[in-house]
């Protein structure tokens, strides 16, 4: 008897990327990051760098830890790559949490029992 069991890596990828909640969340964060990256190219005002607050706010519960690490490690003068990478990692972590919650609330088809006749 062959069972169809998925690998842990495939389950991790499915929960992070391949469900509606995670896809909408990642599109929101990715769009905010794209706008934040393109805004300084088209804006002439000195406040153009403040646009990066939106991706950080969209990823805030997990990004708070990244901001704390930046403050502890570099004393408030952390490099840009640290915060940009932190936003990406925080978004992926929260996308995984959303996907796991989505699966738990929805219930997977594999976990549902099949109705059989009593023998």
One digit per residue, pLDDT tens: the chain, 119 residues? 455 677 888 888 888 898 889 999 999 999 999 999 988 888 888 777 788 899 999 999 899 998 898 889 888 788 889 999 999 999 999 999 999 998 888 875 555 555 556 54
Distance CA 32, CA 77 (A): 23
Look up residue 62 and give its DSSP letter: H
What global pTM score does this model have?
A: 0.78
Contact 40, 56 (CB under 8 A): no
Name every residue whose Cβ is closer than 8 Å to that of residue 36 and which is 6 or more positions away in sequence. 51, 52, 54, 55
Closest residue by Cα to residue 89 from 14, 29, 40, 49: 29
């Amino acid at each position: 008897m062959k069972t169809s069991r998925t690998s842990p890596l495939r389950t991790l990828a499915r929960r992070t990327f391949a469900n509606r909640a995670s896809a909408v969340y990642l599109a929101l964060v990715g769009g905010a990051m794209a706008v934040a990256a393109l805004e300084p190219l088209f804006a002439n005002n000195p406040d153009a760098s403040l646009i990066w607050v939106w991706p950080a706010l969209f990823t805030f519960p997990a990004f708070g830890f990244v901001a704390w690490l930046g403050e502890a490690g570099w004393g408030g003068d952390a490099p840009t790559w640290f915060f940009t990478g932190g936003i990406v990692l925080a978004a992926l972590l929260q996308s995984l949490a959303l996907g796991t919650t989505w699966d738990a609330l929805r219930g997977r088809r594999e976990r549902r029992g099949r109705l059989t006749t009593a023998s």
